[in-house]
Amino acid sequence: MAEEKKKKDKFDEFIEIKRTLPLFCNEFFNAHDARYQIGTKLAYAGDLRVFLSYLLNAFPDKFPYEKIEDITLQDIASLQSTDIDDYLLYLTEYEMDGKIYKNSEQGKKRKLMCLKALYKHFGHIGKIDRSPAEFVYIPKIKEKDIVVISQKEKDRIEDDIETGRRKTEQAQKYHEKTKYRDMAIYKLFLSTGIRVSELVNLDDADVDFAEQRVFVTRKGGKYEAVYFNKEALFALLDYMDIERNQLLGRSADQQEIRNEPLFVSRQKKRISVRMVEIIIKNYTSGVMVGTKATPHTLRKTFGTELYGETGDLYLVQKALGHASVSTTQRHYAKFPEEKLKQIRERK
């Protein structure tokens, strides 16, 4: 329910921003309605509002309008590449609605990619002849070191989940009620590399124990089967048999209802993304000193190990649900050789 409310809030915010944009922006979003998820649409709507507001202030003679909604497609098509370059410099630090905003190279890149997508769309359907953003240099993002969990660290984390030995006496009481759930979450992440959003949206009907697979809804709404190993199977069975009914407030002899959330909180609700992040952080912080581990760290660990074992980027792409193999290549193809050696002893 919490995730559904967040999605609705994002949708409402997107609609509110979209109302302030020119008609051609609405046309762009309508054409990409099925392609972009609500989070992407909200981000792009905000990016376009920043860009169009910049044009009104930077070029008062060329854009003699009071509102950004009056700007036309031909107006922005008349810009030069240098105008887009100047816009990227402006994004470093700017004021809008009485607030100061700053953008890293990553933030600038997203805003530029939004413009490139907009111009590309209208060029593709023949409404403009050129894209002033086409040859604009894409800000280079400094690559972060890939953090993966070693086999020794995985063993220690698993031991902590089983025993709760690093927890306080008070926390131990809660741990005893959720340790099978937490182990199932941990094992499923390491076995499948699914996204945290995909995990929290799982229902019990999405699990096929006989074939050792779960059906997840990928980005873009695609429904796919993802296979898990024996360790995840046993962890899921333990959770279902021992703990899940108690978390749902249901006695063991009560008839189960299908299509209920797979992972639930002590409040008998679907577990949230934030709660999963806290769970992973709590179990890894005492083991991975100096490193902040997240559900995405487990996903990276899975992807790195799979690539280290197979050397097959297309297999990793399929397993992780990347839309393009270039995304997979960017994250895994350059992984240091010494790191690959560290994972060869994994179970």
Q: Which residues are catalytic?
A: 195, 222, 296, 299, 322, 332
CA distances in angstroms from 328 to 112, 167, 295, 304, 318, listed in the order given: 22, 37, 18, 10, 9
In one-letter notation, the amino acid at residue 26 is N
Residues 325/314, Cβ–Cβ less than 8 Å: yes
CA-based end-to-end distance of the chain: 37
**Interstrand relation of 213-217 and 223-227 (parallel, antiparallel or unpaired):** antiparallel
Pairwise CA distance, residues 235 & 222, whole Å: 26
- Please work out, in degrees rounded to the nearest 5, the angle formed at the alpha carbon of residue 131 by the alpha carbons of 84 and 61: 55
- CA 9 to chain CA mean position, Å: 17
- Please identify which residue in the block is written with the tokens 């002033």: 132
Q: 216: part of which helix (H) or strand (E)?
A: strand 213-217
Q: What are phi and psi of 55, to 5 degrees?
A: -60, -40
| Angle subtended at Cα 283 by Cα 160 and Cα 276, rounded to the nearest 5 degrees | 130
Asked whether the CA dihedral 249, 253, 254, 260 is positive or negative, the reply is positive
State the Cα–Cα distance between residues 20 and 9, nearest whole angstrom: 18
**181-to-159, 252, 264 alpha-carbon distances in Å:** 14, 16, 8
Nearest Cα neighbor of 13 from 36, 51, 39 is 39
Handedness of CA 285, 291, 293, 299 (dihedral sign): negative
